[in-house]
Amino acid sequence: MAKGKDKKQPTKTLKEKRRDKREKKQTAS
């Protein structure tokens, strides 16, 4: 895993990140 990415959001997992993207799309729509 990239250290930079981990440093940016250490509390966000890959699954959470994916869910966040989906939620963002729904909110934007």
Q: What is the pLDDT of residues 1-29, one digit of tens each?
A: 556 665 666 677 889 889 999 998 888 76
In this prediction, residue 21 carries a pLDDT of 92
In this prediction, residue 18 carries a pLDDT of 92
Longest dimension (CA), the chain: 32
Our measurement of the distance from residue 5's CA atom to the centroid of its chain's CA atoms, rounded to an integer in Å, reads: 10
Q: What is the pTM of this model?
A: 0.41
In this prediction, residue 2 carries a pLDDT of 56
Query: Phi/psi at 23 (nearest 5 deg)?
Result: -60, -40
Our measurement of the distance from residue 15's CA atom to the centroid of its chain's CA atoms, rounded to an integer in Å, reads: 8
Our measurement of the distance from residue 13's CA atom to the centroid of its chain's CA atoms, rounded to an integer in Å, reads: 7
| Cβ neighbours around 8 below 10 Å, total | 9
In this prediction, residue 7 carries a pLDDT of 64
